[in-house]
Amino acid sequence: MTFAATVLTLMPEMFPGTLGASLAGEALAKGTWSLAVKDIRDHGRGKHRAVDDTPAGGGPGMVIRADVLAEAIDAVVMPDDPRPRFLLSPRGRVFDQALARELAGGPGAVFICGRFEGVDERVIAARGLTELSIGDYVLSGGELAAQVVLDAVIRLLPGVMGGAGSDLEESHEDGLLEYPHYTRPRTFEGQDIPAVLTSGNHGEIARWRRAEAEKLTKARRPDLLSRKSQPRKNPLEG
Ligand code: SAH
């Protein structure tokens, strides 16, 4: 099954962008996922195809018009389309690995990239959009955010990553940050690889890695440990 991504943007030239290279690019070429890019400006108003206007009530910046965006969505997303529709937005729920997994198991997703001050609030409910953030900072547009989300999802699609199971040990997969890695040379500027890793004792190695992952998570992200014990809601439900 092909994971179908549809992106609505005012900057279509930004796609596939980073997703055209490396693992995601190869998977796109193979048909593991597909990408449809829709230029919101196709539905702009007047000679200059205006898509935005000044905010009601005053204030800085411009706002993408509800009618323009709704028409652009309706042109590429049919009402019975089963895919979740995301509006990239710093106000949204924060994207995480659980949602990446959930999306990777589904038919695809629609991503609407904001620009300027954002979009007219009315289109969000009218088209059933879920606001999705990639973190607590403000980007100039949703395009990079959509690519971040897609990158995290695509690498989980069957056949995209080489090493079987390597994706399951990753940071955030089990609520822990990943243990440290080492490779050649055995000694680097006076530092040796921890002896247990060259011992050949797989049980010991697994225990050491688990302990290191817990130590690192406790030191850097104690919030992940407390979150782990709480049962998780379906990330697509509010
Ligand atoms: N005025 C808005 C920010 C607009 S930034 C506010 O304060 O909430 C312009 C666009 O960039 C947004 O519409 C959104 O699509 C995108 N964007 C900015 N920061 C983002 C983030 N952290 N995650 C996802 N999208 C973001």
What is the reported pLDDT for 229?
Answer: 59
Q: Are residues 142 and 194 in the same domain?
A: no
- pLDDT at residue 228 above 70? no
Q: Are residues 15 and 73 in the same domain?
A: yes
Mean pLDDT for the chain? 95
User: What's this model's pTM, rounded to 2 decimal places?
Assistant: 0.94
pLDDT tens digit string along 47-90? Answer: 999 999 999 999 999 999 999 999 999 999 999 999 999 999 99
Query: How would residue 238 be classed by pLDDT, with cut points 50, 70 and 90?
Result: very low
Residue 136 CA to ligand 1 center (angstroms) comes to: 10
Q: Which helix (H) or strand (E) holds 11?
A: none
> Which residue CA neighbors atom 2 of ligand 1 most closely?
117
Domain that holds residue 182: 166-237
What would the pLDDT profile of 99-135 be if each residue is shown by its tens digit? 999 999 999 999 999 999 999 999 999 999 999 999 9
| 77/149 same-domain check | yes
CATH number of the domain within which 15 lies:
3.40.1280.10
The rounded Å distance from CA 44 to ligand 1 centre is: 21
Residue 232 has pLDDT above 60, yes or no: no
Question: What residue owns the CA closest to ligand 1's atom 18?
Answer: 139
Statement to judge: residues 189 and 102 lie in one domain: no
Residue 75 lies in a domain: yes
The total domain count for the chain is: 2
For ligand 1, the distance from its centroid to the CA atom of residue 198, given in whole angstroms, is: 47
Q: Name all residues whose Cβ lies below 6 A of ligand 1.
A: 88-91, 113-115, 117-118, 133-135, 137-142, 145
Same-domain pairing of 126 and 74: yes
- Report pLDDT for 169: 82
Distance 90 CA to ligand 1 centre (A): 5
Distance of CA 57 to the CA centre of its chain: 33
Is the residue at 124 inside a domain? yes
> What is the CATH number for 195?
1.10.1270.20
127 and 40 both lie in a single domain: yes
Sign of CA dihedral 73, 76, 77, 79: positive
- 207-228: average pLDDT: 95
Mean pLDDT of all residues in 31-56: 98
Does one domain contain both 134 and 176?
no
Query: Which protein residue's CA is at the shortest distance from atom 3 of ligand 1?
Result: 117
**Statement: residue 206 has pLDDT above 50:** yes
Q: Which long-range contacts (CB under 8 A, 24 or more apart) does 167-175 make?
A: 170/97, 172/96, 172/97, 172/224, 173/97, 175/217, 175/224, 175/225, 175/227, 175/228
Say what percent of the chain tops pLDDT 90: 89
Predicted confidence band of residue 227 (pLDDT cuts 50, 70, 90): confident
- Kindly indicate the confidence band of residue 139, based on its pLDDT and cuts at 50, 70 and 90: very high
Pocket test for ligand 1, best of 139, 140, 144, 147 (most atoms within 8 A of CB): 139
Confidence class for position 163, pLDDT limits 50, 70, 90: low
Ligand 1 atom at shortest distance from the alpha carbon of 117: 1
- Tell whether the model's pLDDT for residue 167 goes beyond 80: no
- φ/ψ (deg, to 5) at 218: -60, -40
Is 161 part of a structural domain of the chain? no
Q: Are residues 8 and 111 in the same domain?
A: yes
* Residue whose CA is at the smallest distance from ligand 1 atom 4: 117
Q: Do the domain assignments include residue 160?
A: no
Q: How far is the CA of 142 from the centre of ligand 1 (A)?
A: 6
Q: Among 131, 154, 177, which residue terminates a domain?
A: 154
